[in-house]
Structure 1
Amino acid sequence: METGIQTHQSSHFAHPLSNSAAAGICPEMLEVAEEANRAGDYNLAAEIYSSQLADLQCLDRGLCLRKADALAQAGRISEALDSYCTAANIGKLRPDELRLLVENIARNIREKELNINGKAASFHNSGNGEDTFKTDVEALEKEPLDLFSCPICTFLLSEPTTLECGHTFCKHCLEETIKDCKQCKHKMKKKDVNILPIGYRVNVVLSSLLDKWFDSESKARRHWIDGEISRKKYDYTDAMEKYNKAVELAPSIGLLLGQRAELHMNTGNFSQALQDAESMCRLKPLWPKAHYIKASALSKANRHDDALKEYFMCVALKPGWTTVKLEAQKVLSELFSSVFEDCAPAPMSALQSGPSMHLLKSPTLLSSINPFHTPQRSASSSQEPEFTKSFSGEGPSGSPSSKVQKPLLDANGPPGVVSALPAPPGALKRKHSEDGPDLSSPSKLLRPDEACSPSPSPNVRTVAADLLDSGDMECSLCMRLFYEPVATPCGHTFCLKCLERCLDHNPNCPLCKENLSEYLATRGYNKTLLMEEVLQRYLGDELAERKKIHEEEMKELSNLNQEVPIFVCTMAFPTIPCPLHVFEPRYRLMIRRSMETGTKQFGMCVADELKGFADYGCMLEVRDVKFFPDGRSVVDTIGVSRFKVLSHGQRDGYNTAKIEYMEDKKVDGEELAELLKIYASVYDQASGWFTSLKDDMKSQIISHFGELPGKDPDPQGSPSGPAWAWWLLAVLPLDSRAQLTILAMTSLKSRLIAIRRVLIFVTRKKPR
């Protein structure tokens, strides 16, 4: 049994009893019936209520309603209708008294006709109202997403606009609803929306591709959006014109038909609204909104009986839709009232033998609850149909029955309760047993997944082969297929590396010259994900070739022997920090490439008037980079190793060199003993000199180069020699030519002797 109703059932079974009836009713039995209701044994509860009613001299309306509710809960819809009719004959039924009838008719449709159990049951059991089902029915409410769908509206992207995070949406959707990216939850700050003075810009490349590949649907989407805008301005004439154009171009979009149907209803054209609603139901038989719009159109056209069937279908498909349930209850209440209006209550004897004869005056109610029942009349139009005799309490021979007859609809078999429910979407008309087999049994119905996949459908968009042209997806800077495509805020697309190189030179868009200073400052170079997916899906081979070329270039750039990037600036030494302020476009490119290749290294040389840069230098390793909004950067580097230039070259504006790395020559024996003696002497001399410096000078040196490194126990342990020797070279007052000469030495002994000479010179020099 469904427990969702049990949690609040007491309020529905507590129909008040009249004072006269209460006197003839056993309270203990009523309590047992209530316990049975709470336990989900509705059949037992119904039997108890029946026995209590049988003992009454005058029927009680409240007790009839309790019995009717229990029968409805038990799934015995036809018998429940008898009791509701009896109660209605005594007093008008209020909409709130019919909630369980509506819910259980819908439940039977859902389970027996639509063959939906698990998911629908979870809806039914939640008990949290309409909002609980919003997410669960989203798939039926909107079109399924495909590669070219907007994640917000789920329809074909119209005026596709790419955000800084790389996700693409309709421009209209962003302007209407965006707070943050629906895909990655990237927070949209106010300045993000207005990176440019006029706000969002359309992605030029994607827009042209969608217009070319999906011409009709793309035009329809634009008309549709224009129609929505006019509709919000209450310009219904213009809105209808736009909707008509859109439907003509794309007649299979359910929501578009739904909006036009609602517009027809706004203008009082209910017949046209109904046509659109029926088209929606054919396209998406299990879409609750389609049935709701159809029900609304029928209701406004005063076809309440037909509207009731659609309301039942809505509740069956979306059990938590409170608004529709209330509508169904209201319509059902009015139908019950119409049966008994202007009629006095029937006597007790007539009511005990079956449903009220007044019910026969309302084929509307019967057809609403039992749309398949088409009684067979004889040639004589005056002859009553079989079901009329049964309903009126007469047996087959026409003699009065001594007890309550079998209900109009047998709840336990075909045509059964299933026959008492509205026709399922897409089902064939049910045949009676005498006409042939049942063609619309649940097993014969379309499954929900089949029914929700009409053809043609936007969720199977594919690009025609003859419309594919790799030239449509080429970067206007490198004239090659996009690789890591990035969309600028002005809507133009470039390869990531191409765009970065252009922004190194000028903070304006290469195509439209729009200022991109803010974009450069945020460095929001996220790839346009939709463009990447399009390339992978439709130009996979070309993209693989493009990727191969890029990887070969990166491999070449990462070869730190054959083509080492050279920063021509100042002297650098192994183990010594070398902070750099990078502002020239060529060096911005060079630093970025050293980071992209993963080497994080480049060479540093001093300038040479003849060759461009010196024949010796030091490799630097990047430890950190801080970028400024205008593209400049401060690069924290440290010396790694020395090298000798074998040949000079250039690449993309910066210098390169083929190099070989240098190491100190190791010595042993007497040479080693002499080296150690000089090593200790020069270190002590260096330490004494540094100690003798004034405090302010020492502070400046320490802040820039750090403390004097300690004396290594093994002077030949490093290929470049002890760190303190390079520290001294960096801080001693030597010109770059002298420093370069010492840097080029591969003999530690010679380097130490040269340092000693410099120390002697600076210590003999008189202080100012």
Structure 2
Amino acid sequence: MEVEMLVHPLSHPSAPGICPEMLEVAEEATRAGDFSLAAEIYSSQLADLQQPDRGLCLRKADSLVRAGRISEALDSYCSAASLGKLRPEELPLLVESIARGLREKEPGLRSAAGGEEDEDAEWGSTENDRLDLFSCGLCRCLLHEPSTVECGHTFCRRCLEPDTVTDCVHCKRALARKDGLPNGRRLDVVLGGLLDKLFPNESRARRLWIDGEVLRQSRNLTEALQKYDEAVELAPSTGRLLCQRAELHMEMNNVSRAVQDASSLCQIKPLWPKAHYLKATTLSKASRNDEALQEYFLCVALKPNWTKVRLEAQKVLAELFSSVFENQDIPTPLHPLQGGVASRPIKPPALLRTLRPLTQKPASSSQESDTSMTKSALPDESSSSPWKLSAPVAEGSGTNSKSLADVLASVPAPPTGLKRKQSDDSFFNPPSKHLKCGESSSVKLAPACGGRVVPADLLDSGDLECSLCMRLFYEPVATPCGHTFCLKCLERCLDHNPNCPLCKENLSEFLSTRGYNKTLLMEAVLQRYLASELEERKKIHEEEMKELSNLNQEVPIFICTMAFPTIPCPLHVFEPRYRLMIRRSMETGTKQFGMCIADELKGFADYGCMLEVQDVKFFPDGRSVVETIGVSRFKVLSHGQRDGYHTAKIEYLEDKKVEGEELVELLKLHDAVYEQASNWFTSLKDNMKTQIVSHFGHLPSKDPDPQSSGSGPAWCWWLLAVLPLENRAQLTILSMSALKDRLLAIRKVLIFVMRKRPR
């Protein structure tokens, strides 16, 4: 993130020695990116003054920061601080430069930095913060009392209880409100037991953790802390648990323990901005501002848009720069050409203890007195360890094991594209080691996907068996009462009874919505950990579907009424066996079944018509209205049964085609019978014609080629459906395989009907 150019006001804009034209040149150089030139101009202006100007010192410091000359910049900031207390808003460039340097030097920081996130959000997001299979999408912790919602996703029941959760965070589907669920959200029994088995310690810790949260909300902090302590003992590497316990310690003024928890949290989640923010807060509360500042820098490096933390870092840095000059008698710097002790800015011992020298350049004679003055206050260089992202801070230590200078030393020059002059920073060496991807460190980064490991010997297919078919779950569905079944098993049970097969809770509303969405977590567990068993289960299902889709060997038969090719046949389905039959015809994709009339001896007639499903409308109680249309005729070769409904092995019937003189004779007969049928329909009363048209439609037009279809002209079947004939007579005509015979039979019926019609 780029910081806008700051122009600090001069203390004495018209003081002798200050050249406005040179200041304008310096500002133009800054806008052009030549920060070293701007710094040199500000230095020359300061050299011409009898008394140093605070505004010029700050301008010079900012230019040096932009040029990457950090150690020189610190001198200028110290000069400004000696003239007047630094304010946080005067240090954004230094903070941003340090954070940018950390990102450029540390690959982990660079990849984890989330610049597009909400700048006021504290949680952040890193690779090691991704959800794993068993985490709740709302609280991002291990599922506790898992509850599967209507869309098939699973969350903690506790997370779903507030009505503020209106949509699924995964699929954005609207969720049922709490008041719309008579018994509220229910525990998914199978998943709950599975989580307790696979992660016993973490599950127990999660329960204690939640108990602690409840106690904390009721301000029973002592008992809440006991719950947190027990939970941490069971699951010591749970980041958010440590985070909450650290916050609780802060509430109870247990600052040292809060620092310990925050430090542990940073080791567990080194790329989590919230962890470093929490540690910075605890260190600040413990008055360890130099260490807190480093954590603030890490926060800004990880999350550049976090305005709140940038301001905190500027505030602490300003205090470190300025507080060391309070209550100290600092001699007024003399003109640089006059020499003496004041010929360069003085860094008091307290500040040097925090900002360790960045260069190893040999001290000049003018520096020796300053160095000797502060030597006893500096940490031992030989004992200092390289700065690492996850290096812990020893609790209670009086000095900082990783000073701010280590952080500053790793800051590279910004890529301005301009060649700068040699400066003091050409001497400094960055820390000898940096935390890099793939290299070992004192604390390793958390795995990218959460990393919960399921022991291979803990999970077996017996844990995930349907209680109805006693086989591995296939397309598992959770009911509102929390029980899980195979989709097909559940549907078959609800065909007979609208109650849960296990707890007998009424599922009429669930049945009416047809909300049979698969439990996605259960499906994912099966695919990941029982892949071979699931593949075998899938093969069995596919074989069953293949067998059911064979419309020759085992055709499902609906025993009801006469049906004819091309004629609509609406059905009211309420028997469980036919519910199953219709559903299977849809699932296999054939959308077809046979229709036959009953037969006292054989069960159903030897001839029938195949129907194709065009639409299905379900009622809340499981009944349905099925819109079908006749497709083709068939002859039954053998009778059978399957799962309660009838089946048949069939062969399809087609009219025998004729040619020559037989065709000429057939066409004449066809035209004559059609004319006779049209006259009969026209002669009917209006109310009768209206009823026929509303149910069967208008009389189809005459076919130019009556042999174009294997079932013959459509108007013949329309007429056969509306003529007042018994089923047996209709069946006889349906079974005919010669169009001529069918036309002759229809003509006889028309003659008979027209003679019997009242005059």
TM-score bin, normalised by smaller chain: 0.7 to 0.9
> Are residue 67 (structure 1) and residue 56 (structure 2) matched?
no
Kindly tell me: are residues 564 and 246 of structure 1, through their superposed partners in 2, closer, same or farther at Cα, counting changes over 3 Å? Answer: same
Shift, 1:703, TM fit: 1.5
Which residue does the alignment assign to 1:286? 271
CA deviations 1:7-38 (Å, max 9, x no partner) are x21xx22x211336545311111111111222
Q: 1:40-59 residue pairs with structure 2 within 5 A?
A: 40-59=33-52
**Structure 1, 164-173 or 466-475: larger mean CA deviation:** 164-173
Q: How far 1:501 sits from its partner (Å)?
A: 1.0
| 2:652 pairs with 1:652 | no
- Return the alpha-carbon distance in structure 1 between the equivalents of residues 210 and 113 of structure 2: 37
> How far apart are 1:120 and its partner, in Å?
7.6
Q: Measure the CA separation in 1 of the matches of 2:204 and 2:370.
A: 65
Q: Judge conservation of contact 2:333–2:342 (CA < 8 Å) in 1.
A: no
Change (3 A) 1:673 1:337: closer
8 Å Cα contact 2:495/2:579 also seen in 1: yes
2:233 aligned with 1:233, yes or no? Answer: no
Secondary structure of 2:610's counterpart equals strand
Using the alignment, how far apart are the partners of 1:371 and 1:630 within structure 2?
81
- TM-score w.r.t. length of structure 2: 0.87
- Which residues in structure 2 correspond to 1:112-191 (within 5 Å)? 112=105, 114-115=106-107, 123=115, 130-131=119-120, 137-139=124-126, 143-175=129-161, 178-190=165-177
- Cα distance change on mapping 1:624 and 1:108 into 2, 3 Å: same
Q: Can you list the C-alpha shifts for 1:647-699, whole angstroms capped at 9, x where unaligned?
A: 22221111112222222233344443333332221111001111112222222
- Distance across 2 between alignment mates of 1:265 and 1:530: 37
Counterpart residue type for residue 81 of structure 2: A
Distance 1:439 1:543, change over 3 A: farther
How many pairs are equivalent? 719
- Relative distance call for 1:425 and 1:460 in structure 2 (3 A) is closer
CA–CA separation in structure 2 for the residues paired with 1:480 and 1:186: 31
Task: State the distance in 2 between where 1:566 and 1:581 align.
Answer: 15
Task: Please report how far the alpha carbon of residue 51 of structure 1 lies from its aligned counterpart in structure 2 after TM superposition.
Answer: 0.7
Aligned match of 1:689 in 680, 702, 705? 680
Out of 348, 368, 372, the position equivalent to 2:354 is 368
5 Å-filtered alignment, 1:643-682, equals: 643-682=634-673
Kept in 1, the 8 Å contact 2:12–2:53? The answer is: no
Distance 2:159 2:719 in 1: 64
User: CA 1:110/1:684 → structure 2, altered by over 3 Å: closer, same or farther?
Assistant: closer
Report the counterpart of residue 402 of structure 1 in structure 2. Answer: none
Tell me: CA distance 1:198–1:570, structure 2 relative to 1, closer, same or farther (3 Å).
same
Q: Per-residue deviation at 1:296?
A: 1.3
Residue 355 of structure 1 contacts residue 391 of structure 1 at CA under 8 Å; is this kept in 2?
Answer: no
Find the counterpart in structure 2 of residue 554 from structure 1: 545
Classify 1:457/1:528 alpha carbon distance in 2 versus 1 (closer, same or farther; 3 Å). Answer: same
- Which residue, out of 479, 490, 494, partners 1:488? 479
Does residue 93 (structure 1) correspond to residue 86 (structure 2)? The answer is yes
Q: Say which is worse superposed, 257-266 or 180-189, in terms of deviation.
A: 180-189
- Comparing 648-657 and 565-574, the one that deviates more: 648-657
Distance in 1 separating the partners of 2:47 and 2:429: 40
Deviation at 1:590, TM superposition (A): 0.5
Give 1:115 deviation, angstroms.
4.6
Partners of 1:121 and 1:46 lie apart in 2 by 31
Q: Which residue of 2 aligns with 1:304?
A: 289
**Mapping of residues 588-603 of structure 1, within 5 Å:** 588-603=579-594
| Deviations 1:688-723, CA, capped at 9 Å, x for gaps | 111112222222211211111122222222222211
Distance 1:96 1:235 in 2: 40
Determine the structure 2 residue equivalent to 1:446: 436
1:574 Cα deviation from its structure 2 partner? 1.0
Task: Select 2:248's aligned residue among 249, 255, 263.
Answer: 263
Note the alpha carbon deviations across 1:265-290, whole angstroms, 9 max, x for none.
11000111111111112223333222
Contact 1:167 1:528 in 2 (8 A): yes
Q: How does 1:628-639 map to 2 (within 5 A)?
A: 628-639=619-630
Q: Secondary structure at the match of 1:138?
A: coil
Letter in 2 for 1:184: C
The alignment's C-alpha RMSD in Å is 3.4
| CA gap 1:350/1:30 in 2 versus in 1, 3 angstroms | closer
Q: How far did residue 249 of structure 1 move?
A: 0.6
Identity %: 67
What residue in structure 2 maps to residue 107 of structure 1?
A: 100
Deviation at residue 637 of structure 1 after TM alignment: 0.8
Is 2:553–2:648's contact at 8 Å kept on the other side of the alignment? yes
For the 8 Å contact 1:288–1:314, the answer to whether it is kept is yes
Deviation at 1:472, TM superposition (A): 1.1
Does structure 2 conserve the Cα–Cα contact (< 8 Å) formed by 1:87 and 1:93?
A: yes
- Between the aligned partners of 2:755 and 2:432, the Cα distance in structure 1 is 108
Q: 2:303 aligns with which of 295, 318, 325?
A: 318
* Aligned 8 A contact 1:21 1:58 in 2: no
Q: Distance in 2 between matches of 1:454 and 1:421?
A: 18
- Aligned partners of 1:511, 1:395: CA distance in 2, in Å? 82
Contact 1:67 1:83 in 2 (8 A): yes
CA–CA distance in structure 2, aligned partners of residues 673 and 457 of structure 1 = 81
* AA in 2 matched with 1:151: G
Bigger drift between 680-689 and 346-355 goes to 346-355
State the alpha-carbon separation in 1 of the partners of residues 559 and 100 from structure 2: 80
Spell out, residue by residue over 1:482-502, the C-alpha distance to the aligned partner (whole angstroms, 9 max, x if none): 111111122111111111111
Is structure 2 residue 16 aligned with structure 1 residue 31?
no
2:637–2:648 contact (8 Å) kept in structure 1: yes
SS of match in other structure, 1:656: strand
How far residue 175 of structure 1 moved from its aligned partner, in angstroms, is: 3.0
1:575 pairs with 566, 569, 575, which one? 566
Matched residue of 1:515: which SS? coil
Cα distance, 1:329–1:181 mapped onto 2, change above 3 Å: same
CA contact (8 A) 2:387 2:434 kept: no
1:252/1:457 contact within 8 Å kept: no
Q: Which residue of 2 aligns with 1:478?
A: 469
User: Deviation of residue 87 (structure 1)?
Assistant: 1.4
Residues 1:247 and 2:236 are matched in the alignment: no
Distance, in Å, in 1 between the alignment partners of 2:613 and 2:431 is: 74
| C-alpha displacement of 1:240 | 1.1
* Secondary structure at 2:499 match in 1: coil
Partner of 1:425: 390
Superposition pairs of residues 386-465 of structure 1, within 5 angstroms: 391=367, 424-426=389-391, 441=431, 444-447=434-437, 453-454=444-445, 459-465=450-456
Residue 593 of structure 2 aligns to a residue in which SS? strand
Q: How far is 1:152 from its partner? A: 2.9
Distance 1:571 1:292, change over 3 A: same
1:83–1:355 contact (8 Å) kept in structure 2? no
Aligned equivalents of 1:343 and 1:196: distance in 2? 70
For the residues of structure 1 that align with 2:51 and 2:628, how far apart are their CA atoms? Answer: 101
Q: Is the 8 A contact 2:585 2:591 kept in 1?
A: yes
In structure 1, the residue corresponding to 2:284 is in which secondary structure? helix
Contact 2:387 2:433 in 1 (8 A): no
Aligned residues of 1:489 and 1:519 also touching (Cα < 8 A): yes
| Alignment deviations for residues 309-340 of structure 1 (CA, whole Å, 9 cap, x no partner) | 32223223323222222222222222333222
With over 3 angstroms needed to count, the CA separation of the structure-2 counterparts of 1:552 and 1:236, relative to structure 1, is: same
Which whole-Å deviations, capped at 9, do the CAs of 1:167-202 have from their partners, x for residues lacking one? 222223333563311222222243xx5563122212
Q: CA deviation at 1:388?
A: 11
SS in 2 for 1:329: helix
Which amino acid is 1:185 matched to? K
CA contact (8 A) 1:195 1:489 kept: no
How much does 1:446 deviate? 3.3
